[in-house]
Amino acid sequence: DYDGGSSGSFSMKNLEDLLNLRYARQHNALIGKLAVLKPSEVYDVWMKKESDLVQATAESYGEYFVMHQAIESLEALSIFAAKDVVSELASLYALQCVEANLAWYMCEGILDSRAAEQIKRDTDRCIMNLVPHVPALLNAFEIPESLIKTPIAENWVEFNEHENNGEVLRM
């Protein structure tokens, strides 16, 4: 049962552990179901009877892998300001993975309602901490200005005053 640590917030290690635990439990459940089958039954069970579990296991492995790689990359960063931003991004990623699967964590008895509320608070905190860095993060993608001209980012009321057939012709 995760309590969010002594500070109340989930650490990156807590989040990585949560993602790993979900993967491990799903992987073990899948292996358990396949281990009792005859070789001739594996395909039908894998593709038809347990395809949801196969997909969930693959997804949970991907989530854990991304978080694990983010933590390893953080250790290699030498610029303190960049470390803070990457740490917030990695935490936000993991928090959103946990939040998307909150029902699973609660049904498995891993998180309780108090921890679920903390996940939401931590997500909000990460977003607030990242807001000042959004322009720099967007600029890091080096997307040409001409490709990011959108009505919603500009004056969409004025944009919709004229017939444009859904095309961004001028801004």
87-117 confidence digits (pLDDT tens): 999 999 999 999 999 999 999 999 999 999 9
Q: What is the pLDDT of residue 48?
A: 86
Of 7 and 22, the one with more pLDDT: 22
- pTM value is 0.79
**Cβ(19)–Cβ(110) below 8 Å:** no
Distance separating alpha carbons of residues 102 and 143, to the nearest angstrom: 34
**pLDDT of residue 6 exceeding 60:** no
DSSP-derived secondary structure for 129-161: HHGGGHHHHHHHTT--GGGS--GGGS-HHHHTT
Q: Looking at the structure, give the CATH architecture of the domain made up of residues 12-140.
A: Up-down Bundle (1.20)
Q: Please report, for the chain, the start and end positions of each structural domain, with discontinuous segments joined by +.
A: 12-140, 142-171
Mean pLDDT of 56-68: 98
Q: Please check the confidence at residue 160 and state whether its pLDDT lies above 90.
A: no
pLDDT band at 81 (very low <50, low <70, confident <90, very high): confident
Q: In this predicted structure, what is the pLDDT of residue 12?
A: 96
Distance between CA 38 and CA 76 in Å, rounded? 46
